[in-house]
Structure 1
Amino acid sequence: MKCFYEVIRAEENLPIKAFIHSINGLEMHWHNEMEIILVLQGSVNIRVGNELYSLSENDLILINSNEIHNINKTKEENMLLAVQMNPSYYSAYYPRFNKIMIDCKSFLYGKEAQERFDIVRHYLAKIVWELNKKGKGYQLIIGSEIHLLTAYLVNNFDYHFIEDEKSASINKDIHRLQSIISFINENLERKVTLQEIADREKLNVYYLSHFIKKKMGVSFQEYINIIRLDKAVNSLTSTNKTITEISYASGFPSTKSFNKNFKITYGCSPTEHRKENTKYLNNIKKIENTNFHEKKSRTYLDVDRNAALKKLFTYLKPLDNEIQDDNVTTNDKEAISVNAKKKGMYYVPYWKKLITYSRASEGLRKSWQNQLKELQNEIGFEYIRFHGIFSDDMMICNFNEENNIVYNWYYVDELLDFFKKVNIKPFIELGFMPSEIKKSDETVFWWKANISQPKDIKLWTDLVVEFIKHCINRYGLKEVETWYFEVWNEPDLEYVFWVGGKEEYFEFYKQTALAVKSISEKLRVGGPAITYQALSDNAWFEDFLLYYNKNNFPLDFFSFHIYPEAYSLQEAVENLKMMIEQGKKLEESDKNWEEAPRIYYGKDNTYDTLNLINDKIKKSLNHYTEIHITEWNASAYNRNLIHDTCFVATFIISNILKCIGKVNSIGYWTFTDIMEETKAGISAFHGGFGLINNNGLKKPSYFAYYLLSKLGKEIIEQGEEYIITKTDEDIQVLVYNYAYFDDLFLNGDTSALTNTERYLVYERKSPKEIDLNVMEISGSYKITKYQLDREHGSAFDEWINMGAPENMTQQELNYLKGKAHPKMTIEYLKLNGEYKEKLYIPVHGVELITLEKKL
């Protein structure tokens, strides 16, 4: 029998171990710990002693110390929460607790009698919640919850104590039983008799038969058959052996005996069971054999883990509402002092270098253009990167009467003219493939971007050359030489964005880069625009560098994409190949790809990935090459509800400030929710990528860039979650309180994330209390404070306060737009040597103070 565990937390300094597991079969065993099992999903059969119980979803059972028990799955998949408590821990408070036997079985009672069991479920949920949040002092909170749980059990359920003499007898029996079971398991393949064991244990055979039945709940022969059946079940689903071979290899005297016992236990024949369960156990085998990231990126054994935990966490609410916010009332206190005359370090505000949007043709819409215009007026980015300059909806390639390709640049001109008007330069991704020159029909996205190679490479390079020549003729060579040309998008994701292997892309890149440089050596071309996982999961990038060193083709910059999630890419690619073989369109896979189970890398993933990129490049190249992150976000999923929250503002600020000097640009994907990789989001706050939603409402993420844009030219102080800059005699202080995801969310569980409640998936953290002291500063100053948090400047949180209305009227939108701005206060002070201020920064909050010298 096998048991598969997913440990939530096992703390050495706590008398408790909690884990979620999915059972296929768990052999008879016992342990000193008291164990409470709650069925989160599905059903199981549990034998305790000589009693057999069937538990369904929401049922719980308490298994006392040293009670012999085993668990088996039914035809349903299952998910269980197990909380094990060491009874010896309580002996100092309750001396006889390690001898207590509590009767707690919810399934023996009807719905009307579940209230006392709901309170037990509450304590279990609270323990799991606190283990997950791991906030300051969480061990103390868990300790108190465990004491409250055990006190509740003692006061509300029947129990009795095992006397010392009986306890010694039980220990002797357990030792004997362990010896018997070990002997049976070691000699299972031959015929083991009861008489043989009786002789070995120096017992009467009739006494031994009664002993086994009493302690294990089954007869000697029944136990033999259970063990043999378990071995047979494993062979059925993991080997190609025949039923006859399996029956004899498992120790059954005949196939007839095997079939009879199998049907009694499982309710079907061995052949039927093999057909039904092969896929299930193959999934288990995949999980056991995959690497760490792949293992964590799946829902456990294909069970809906999110739904199960969501059910568990409903039991938090009857006794308290603490999870509605961080139940921490104390503040983290910190003192920050800086000398205003300190010589600073000049830096490049690389975060203003690049912004992105989804596809070229979306930039022709009035609402989209209005949003970009406002973004440029308030923040002012230098470049903009996007997909689809050559895609069919830009209508560039056409056939004339002689069946030759002619080009129409009308929409291209309209788009690039608008960029010039709002003072932003294009960072042009050369892709995707126009239908007129495509090699095959594979597409991605709702708007059907063709991801195939060209049917003739010359048709492609001619298109690239003519496009750039047209741009030069319209905007001038010197202007176009300031642009960037990126070759394709994520070619490492075969059958997702590129049909072909890496070698085909390498040659494609080479020919494209040569075509660009054939016009002017000063034109900037680069790539390969690959994902962060390609850097760590395989040698894709190393092979690209090797190819570059051997072929010496143009490469003016490297580009990469960084998101914090990990995916099982190999499995996804295999599924996509299978879809092609079945004649399905690839865009049918978009939803599954986007909603695939995911885990999150750690808090420093962006920083770590940039270090990895720099290290790999330095090892292969002996010259400097620009590095651009042309896609970056807090999630790669365009319906992730975290995108609309204040968390993303602190995510942006924390990562950008930490990565100063590591990269030339980092382009947030995307500036607007007006995008159609999938169909447009229905809700006003549907979790879209954008800094601005469809209605033009600015999210907290927008104001992260807004506040960053107000920093000065020199860094005079930088520490954990703050930066102080200056320009001449003006001072800027930016402080934030960044809380990352909690353990459950990091591991793919989204049960605590809903449309209206989006702040329960973060680590427990305290508000910040900061004593700020700027020294050596004198004169008349204008002091401006900007506060961005859930109560100030968050359109999403204000929308929730309004009642989360959809299809909003213009009046409602105007109201939200008025609220969607950081709180701003202004005062004028005459400073005589120092400026002191006390700051209070809530979790997910940001505060900027600017001290502007006046005459």
Structure 2
Amino acid sequence: MTKKIEVPVSGKPFKNNATFCVGTGRMGLALQKEYTEHLKIVQEAVHFRYIRGHGLFCDDMGIYREITMDDKTTTFYNFTYLDRVIDTYLKNGIRPFLELGFMPEKLKSGERTVFYWKGNVTPPSSYEKWAELVTTTLNHLIERYGREEVITWPVEVWNEPNIGFWAGSMEEYFKLYEYSAEAVKKADPRIQVGGPAICGVDTERWLRSFFEHCINNNLPLDFITRHCYTAQAPTNKGEYVYHVMHDPTFMIEELKETRKIMSDYPRIANMPLHITEFNSSYVPVCPVHDTDFNAAFIARILSEAGEYADSYSYWTFSDVFEEADVPKSVFHGGFGMVALNSIKKPTFYTFEFFSKAGRELLYRDEHLIVTKDGDKYVIIGWNWHDMRDHKPSPDEKYVLSLPSIGKQALLIKKEVGGAHANPMQTWSNMGKPRNLNKEQLKILQTAAEPLQTDAKLLEQNGAYEVEVTIPCNHLCMLEITPVDDKTETYLGFDPEEFYGMK
């Protein structure tokens, strides 16, 4: 069935926060060459404002050190690697959204770790030394990068303390938050600090308890953070993990729930809500991340999430990532928008397309948005469907009547899905090579590009008629701009004399 849509002349602001922040693996990965290559690719296309990841205080960054001499132990702070990482970020036009974690070896109170790279998640053996570490690090950043710059970098306290990323109790996390938040404000009271950075487990109890603790103890709190994933229980098969996915609106409902809880507390109600991690699956060896399904699925979330959240940070921009061991092949189910060897995945284009969306929202439904910015239309469409039910969904078809922006306009359409911008399918056709030779790499990089077509639109009765068809597990973007036709200035140019060009 074709939907016929009369697009209005004006709409409402499009609350599009898709480019506010993006996720990364631990900060130490920014010291790798391929990581910085991926960051450059993403920033050239999407222009994220902030980047957030783990491992600021892990020992591979080398910040916290204790030196013993003559039976006296002295604390030493080494910012060599931190400076390199922040320099890399700023050079690529992106600022850090700092996460305070995990625990340095010399400050740990226990042996519990997470991930292949063994981030220690125990409370500090000394909260006073932890607070000094936080303040000293921020003071160093202020000295190096300037106070007016650093006060724009948000600070989040820890990561997912409601599950295995925190070895202490809820009450002990509150103690960590108190010491951390006050240490942040000691460096500069204008630096924004927040939490509790929980994932979707026991959400309401954690949020209410955290809010009440901060209010009752008058603790610094400038924004709220949480994580959202849409995957249901995992199924393990060899090296991989698979899920049945909730509908993408599952995340939208989580955001509504969070806002509703926040609204019960006058001090909290209007604070920014940052989703500092989100994706479909929460496992970095789930092949869904590499698929055209994921691109369309995530598009549905981006189309509405800004109504409730001030940011939603896709986890992650790059497959240079080691939580579940060093990646074993170019496509391995990694979180990233960019696969190893700088191959763009379908979801890369989800964010590139939304980065181009107009500021005015004229129309939105479950499969399409129509936006406008000045005299330019940007239309984004998606059609996600889990193919494991062996019943492909029908094409989504539209006929749009768009108010004219000139007698003639150019329509550029980019399509992702199926045979286009779907390099995992090409890799499969190659026999899934573990290691790529130069020719295979070139083929995959070419296969990662979307299909681009164009058409001429002519005004009829003050409008353009545009047909949009979105096949199953496809994503598309249409850009429509006015044309200043100079044809009449080319005397004697007659396309019908050679190729029948119109």
Deviations 1:552-600 (A, max 9, x none): 10011111011113559xxxxxxxxxxxxxxxxxxxxxx99x9889664
The residue aligned with 2:181 is 513
**1:652–1:704 CA contact under 8 A, matched in 2:** yes
Q: Secondary structure at the match of 1:716?
A: strand
Q: Secondary structure at the match of 2:343?
A: coil
Q: Does 1:612 align with 2:257?
A: yes
The residue aligned with 1:528 is 196
Q: Does 1:662 align with 2:327?
A: no
**2:415–2:452 CA contact under 8 A, matched in 1:** yes
Q: 1:546 to 1:596 in 2, by over 3 A?
A: farther
Deviations 1:785-833 (A, max 9, x none): 1111112111112222333333111111111111211111234445343
**2:294–2:346 CA contact under 8 A, matched in 1:** yes
Measured in 2, the distance between the counterparts of 1:492 and 1:515 equals: 22
Q: 1:763 to 1:451 in 2, by over 3 A?
A: farther
Q: Where do 1:152-191 residues align within 5 Å?
A: none
Q: Does 1:499 align with 2:128?
A: no
Q: Secondary structure at the match of 1:459?
A: helix
Measured in 2, the distance between the counterparts of 1:621 and 1:599 equals: 38
Query: Offset of 1:835 from its aligned partner?
Result: 1.9
Deviations 1:278-307 (A, max 9, x none): xxxxxxxxxxxxxxxxxxxxxxxxxxxxxx
The residue aligned with 1:558 is 224
The residue aligned with 2:104 is 434
Q: Secondary structure at the match of 1:352?
A: coil
Q: Where do 1:684-763 residues align within 5 Å?
A: 684-739=330-385, 741=386, 759-760=387-388
Query: Offset of 1:848 from its aligned partner?
Result: 1.4
Q: 1:334 to 1:685 in 2, by over 3 A?
A: same
Measured in 1, the distance between the counterparts of 2:242 and 2:3 equals: 39
Q: Does 1:408 align with 2:78?
A: yes
Query: Offset of 1:516 from its aligned partner?
Result: 0.6
Q: 2:51 aligns with which of 372, 375, 384?
A: 384
Measured in 1, the distance between the counterparts of 2:294 and 2:411 equals: 27
Q: For structure 2, which runs of at least 5 residues remain unmatched after alignment?
A: 485-502
Q: Secondary structure at the match of 2:273?
A: strand
Q: 1:460 aligns with which of 108, 114, 130?
A: 130
Q: 1:845 aligns with which of 462, 470, 474?
A: 474
Q: 1:789 to 1:809 in 2, by over 3 A?
A: same
Measured in 1, the distance between the counterparts of 2:241 and 2:155 equals: 31
**1:441–1:450 CA contact under 8 A, matched in 2:** yes
Measured in 2, the distance between the counterparts of 1:621 and 1:721 equals: 36
The residue aligned with 1:786 is 414
Deviations 1:238-262 (A, max 9, x none): xxxxxxxxxxxxxxxxxxxxxxxxx
Q: 1:650 aligns with which of 266, 285, 296?
A: 296
**2:404–2:459 CA contact under 8 A, matched in 1:** no
Aligned residue identity for 1:728: G
Q: Does 1:800 align with 2:428?
A: yes
Q: Does 1:477 align with 2:144?
A: no
Aligned residue identity for 1:542: R
Measured in 1, the distance between the counterparts of 2:169 and 2:242 equals: 25
Q: Secondary structure at the match of 2:226?
A: strand
Aligned residue identity for 1:503: E
**2:243–2:281 CA contact under 8 A, matched in 1:** no
**2:367–2:396 CA contact under 8 A, matched in 1:** no
The residue aligned with 2:215 is 549
Deviations 1:416-441 (A, max 9, x none): 01111011010010000101111112
The residue aligned with 2:328 is 682
Q: Does 1:336 align with 2:23?
A: no
Q: Where do 1:573-588 residues align within 5 Å?
A: none
Measured in 1, the distance between the counterparts of 2:241 and 2:342 equals: 29
Q: Secondary structure at the match of 1:804?
A: coil
Provide the identity percentage. 32
**1:344–1:714 CA contact under 8 A, matched in 2:** yes
Measured in 1, the distance between the counterparts of 2:149 and 2:354 equals: 28
Deviations 1:430-480 (A, max 9, x none): 000101111112111111101111111011000001000000000111111
Query: Offset of 1:542 from its aligned partner?
Result: 1.5
Aligned residue identity for 2:335: F
**2:16–2:302 CA contact under 8 A, matched in 1:** no
The residue aligned with 1:451 is 121
**1:465–1:516 CA contact under 8 A, matched in 2:** yes
Deviations 1:522-566 (A, max 9, x none): 101101100112215xx2222112212211100111110111135
The residue aligned with 2:402 is 774
Aligned residue identity for 1:454: P
Q: Secondary structure at the match of 2:97?
A: strand
Measured in 2, the distance between the counterparts of 1:424 and 1:774 equals: 36
Q: Where do 1:125-140 residues align within 5 Å?
A: none
**2:25–2:321 CA contact under 8 A, matched in 1:** yes
Measured in 1, the distance between the counterparts of 2:14 and 2:88 equals: 30
Measured in 2, the distance between the counterparts of 1:597 and 1:853 equals: 46
Q: Secondary structure at the match of 2:189?
A: coil
Q: Does 1:349 align with 2:16?
A: yes
Q: State TM-score, norm by structure 1.
A: 0.54
Q: Where do 1:301-380 residues align within 5 Å?
A: 332-339=1-8, 342-380=9-47
Q: Where do 1:159-308 residues align within 5 Å?
A: none
Bigger relative CO (Cα 8 Å, ≥ 6 apart): 2
Deviations 1:385-415 (A, max 9, x none): 0100110000112223342110110000000
Query: Offset of 1:359 from its aligned partner?
Result: 0.2
**1:533–1:566 CA contact under 8 A, matched in 2:** no
Q: Secondary structure at the match of 2:167?
A: coil
Measured in 2, the distance between the counterparts of 1:661 and 1:769 equals: 26
**2:21–2:312 CA contact under 8 A, matched in 1:** yes
Measured in 1, the distance between the counterparts of 2:248 and 2:443 equals: 35
Aligned residue identity for 1:429: E
Largest Rg, 1 or 2: 1
Q: 1:381 to 1:784 in 2, by over 3 A?
A: same
The residue aligned with 1:285 is none
Q: 1:791 to 1:599 in 2, by over 3 A?
A: closer
Which has the larger share of helix? 1
Q: 1:612 to 1:842 in 2, by over 3 A?
A: same
The residue aligned with 1:633 is 279
Aligned residue identity for 1:498: W
Aligned residue identity for 2:471: P
